[in-house]
Every structure is written in C-alpha cells, then in structure tokens.
Amino acid sequence: MKNYRYLILRRLTQITLLVLYVGANAWGWKMLQGNLSTSSILGAIPLSDPYAVIQIAVTGASLGMDILLGALIVTLFYGVIGGRAFCSWVCPINIITDTAAWLRRALKFSEVQKRFYMSRSLRYWILGLSLILSALMGVAAFELISPISMAHRGLIFGMGMGGGALIVIFLFDLLVHENGWCGYVCPLGATYSLIGKFSLIRVFHDAEKCTDCRSCITVCPEKEVLHMINRSSESVLMGECTNCGRCVDVCQEDALGFSIRSFTKQPKDEE
C-alpha cells in the first residue's frame, strides 16, 4: 500500500473535486461551483485559471474583478506552496495520461518503437503562440480547443463530442509518445511550470540512500527533473516537476520524499 500512497491521495483529490463540481450543477451544492476555468468556493471565494485569464487579458477584454482576484489566489497558491501540483492533483486529464503511460510501460511499447522526437520546449512555443493568436483573433485561443476544459465541462455540463478529444489524447500518449500531452504539448501545464518554479514544497533526493535502481525515473512523467538521482542530495527544483509523488511512492530506500525547498546541494560521497 505504501507504494501507492500519493497515487491514491491524488486520485481521491481529483475525484472529490470532480464530484463537488458535478454536485454543484446537478444538485445545487454550493461548495465548489463552476469549473476549472473559474470556480467559486461557497459562492464567496473566486478561483480562476491564470492561463485563461492571461489569454482573456491579451484580447483586450475589460476583465472582471472576480476572475482577476481568482487568478491571483490560484497563482499565489501554486507559486508559493504547491508548485505544478495542479497537473497531477487536480487536472482530470492526468488520470487519462497516467493510464496511457502505465499501459505503454506494461506493454513495453517504448522498447520496440523508435523514439518519436519532440522537444520538451514545444509546450512553451504553444503557450506563446496561444497568446499571439488570442491577441490577433480577439478570443482566448487555447480555451476554444482546450481538451482539459472540454473534458471538465463535459463531465459537469454534458459531453457533446468532447469525448473524442479525450480518446485522441489517450491514443497519442499510448501510441505516439510517452507522456506526450502533459509533458510536451499542454500549454496549461507549461504555465503552471512557470508559476510553480519557486514554490516551497519540493521532492528532496537523498543521494546517500540511493541504490541507483532507477524506479523513480521509470515512473516519472518529467524525467529531466530527476537529473540528480544518485549524484547529489538536493531538492528537485525544476518547475516542470508536477509534485505527483510517484517517485516517492516507488522508492524502496526512502531516498526521495516531500520537504520544504532546500537551497543546498551535496554531491554523493563516493566510496
């Protein structure tokens, strides 16, 4: 069970949030209304997707007080505390892409398939492009195609053809590239990578305990962030780390764990 602690906690968080949202529309619950673009806690505290608000801002829209305040609250929360935790603890697409990645590993596709080259920075290009298009076209460009909000809205308000987008992402991650959507394409994840770059909660690696089994790297959806494994004791500082805690789960030696950001680095003692 210990091997799945954070995975189970994350799924519980994701599903609880979803149930609250669905309950708000279906049965009028007041706890969490709206959707991931903008929500309202108890009809009082606004929460807004900072990326959506930036896109709206560059169109030249007048920007309501509530979405500005909501985006500020969300940005502060992930910026100071959570890091890129939205992606692995809140986003419903994460369940789909994790499943695809797990299936891909189980079926050993990566061992047979030639690697399909994509750059990790693709998502930042898409992020930039979405802002340019939003400004030029006068409408939040990614919000019109976002499979994340499509899926989330679909689950709360009715799916339409939105299910198609989810199947496409699942197949892309399964057949084309491991963690293709979340790790390479999604500009919302890219935004949270930038926001969460300086957050306090970080995975810490204790190189002295590490036996170099590399299980953490196998399960990590953003393998580059674990460059210090078995090399030096330090915090995982790259903004791309989603704080999903899978590496902590799978580490049998307790060489990985959540802690407050550490600014020091200690190379591993070589015997």
Q: What are phi and psi of 219, to 5 degrees?
A: -90, -15
CB of 130 to another protein, least distance (A): 8
Closest CB to another protein among 9 and 136?
136
Q: Which residues pair with 257 in a beta bridge?
A: 204
Supply the DSSP symbol for 269.
P
CB of 182 to another protein, least distance (A): 18
CB of 172 to another protein, least distance (A): 16
CB of 259 to another protein, least distance (A): 31
Closest CB to another protein among 49 and 249?
49
- 8 A C-beta contact, residue 261 and residue 201: yes
- 8 A C-beta contact, residue 142 and residue 51: yes
In the complex, which residues of this chain contact another protein (CB under 8 A)? 24-25, 28, 33-35, 37-40, 46, 48-49, 52-53, 56, 59-67, 70, 121-122, 125-126, 128-129, 132-133, 136-141, 143-145, 149-150, 153-154, 156-162, 164-165
- 8 A C-beta contact, residue 237 and residue 205: no
Q: Where are the beta strands (DSSP E) in 145-255?
A: 201-205, 232-235
Closest CB to another protein among 133 and 241?
133
Q: Is the dihedral of CA 89, 94, 96, 100 positive or negative?
A: negative
Closest CB to another protein among 140 and 255?
140
CB of 63 to another protein, least distance (A): 7
Taking the C-alpha atoms of residue 121 and residue 128, their distance in angstroms, rounded to an integer, is: 11
Closest CB to another protein among 149 and 242?
149
Closest CB to another protein among 64 and 257?
64
CB of 13 to another protein, least distance (A): 20
Q: What are phi and psi of 267, to 5 degrees?
A: -60, 150
Taking the C-alpha atoms of residue 11 and residue 1, their distance in angstroms, rounded to an integer, is: 14
Taking the C-alpha atoms of residue 189 and residue 123, their distance in angstroms, rounded to an integer, is: 8
